[in-house]
Amino acid sequence: MRKLVAAAATAALLGLTACGSGSLSSTDETSSGSPAAEGLTAIEVGVIPIVDVAPIYLGVEEGLFEAEGLDVTLTLAQGGAAIVPAVTSGQMDFGFSNITSMIVGRSKGLPVQMVAPGGSSTGDPDADFAAVMTKPDSGIETTKDLEGKKVGVNTLNNISDSTISEAVKQAGGDYESIEFVEIPFPELSGQLAAGTVDAIAAVEPFVTIAKADGAVPVFSNYAEPVDDLTVAVYFASDEYIQENPETVEKFVRALKASQEFAEANPDKVRAILPSYTSLKPEVIEQLTLPRYSTEVNGASVEEVARISLDRGLVEEIPDMETLLPAY
């Protein structure tokens, strides 16, 4: 039996959030789960109600996990701050998080390892599921124009502010002059309109919502400055991986099949979103989907680790062999 560790201590060690920690629901809930069918292995996966996790919902619906002998419970949480301690304490078997949170967590001694890809950037700065946005009359037209400005991000010292500052640095701007302000995703558009910040870093569906409110994109901080960026991943604890290697391999196969299915069937991705989010149909129709890759791009993760070190998010880059997927 897996030893339980104090979840509160883990949470205190690192307040982790996934890339969509601004939840689309006000409370945690469990879906797609039932008592394990005979002959199936029951697993619980912590997810957040954003577009990135649509493939795993499709995989459950299409029977891809059942075909691997798995009975999956998908538990919605507000963000990684709840999921990470649940996974490391053994309350959940797998979880979803952005890669910066994984890098920071591993560097602080959290026993977490990536096992499968989540959402990835489309690679197109003009058509990605993440965007830095501003008012049409703000005078911010290029990446470099962000220097000296206030930029709203959902979480400080994480993937959004570090990639934005790196993009400004590469554009020749004074990235250290940017003032980042922590604002939950659902409030970003309103705070931009109110003038609290000069620009915001949004991900879908909040990009589409902000556009409807009159905001305009400047660039995508996921499409650049890191090439072919794996934005988020599924992960498990070292202990769970060591004790349940066959179950992990089955989960990875089913998840990759689900990612492939989602990439080939964008209409089904959009159709399943109402089952676990409160998004309106007109938003679902317009939003830009992530790319659902079947592999984690290790080079992009290593580049984000370098950026995290340069920005002081970590004191040293963690051992990437223990963090990157072995599958």
Q: What is the pLDDT of residues 57-85, one digit of tens each?
A: 999 999 999 999 999 999 998 777 789 99
pTM for the whole structure: 0.87
- Per-residue pLDDT at 27 exceeds 50: no
Joined tokens for residue 274:
């109402």
Joined tokens for residue 226:
């890191």
Domain coordinates in residue numbering, the chain = 7-120+229-323, 130-219
Give residue-wise pLDDT tens across range 104-132.
Answer: 999 999 999 999 999 999 999 889 999 99
Instruction: Return all residues near 53 (Cβ < 8 A) that are at least 6 apart.
Output: 47, 74, 96, 118, 276
Nearest Cα to 85, choosing from 235, 309, 233? Answer: 235
Give residue-wise pLDDT tens across range 287-326.
Answer: 999 999 999 999 999 999 999 999 999 999 999 999 999 9
Q: Are 7-120+229-323 and 130-219 the same fold in CATH?
A: yes
Say what the pLDDT of residue 16 is. Answer: 40
For the chain, how many residues are written? 327
Distance CA 281, CA 305 (A): 37
Residue 247, burial from CB neighbour count under 10 angstroms (0-12, 13-18, 19+): buried
Architecture category of domain 7-120+229-323 in CATH: 3-Layer(aba) Sandwich (3.40)
Say what the pLDDT of residue 22 is. Answer: 37
Average pLDDT value over all residues in the chain: 89
Say what the pLDDT of residue 105 is. Answer: 94
Give residue-wise pLDDT tens across range 242-287.
Answer: 999 999 999 999 999 999 999 999 999 999 999 999 999 999 999 9
Architecture category of domain 130-219 in CATH: 3-Layer(aba) Sandwich (3.40)
Contact between 265 and 64 under an 8 Å Cβ cutoff? The reply is no
- Per-residue pLDDT at 20 exceeds 90: no
Stated as kind and residue range, the H or E segment containing 245 is: helix 245-264
- Per-residue pLDDT at 7 exceeds 90: no
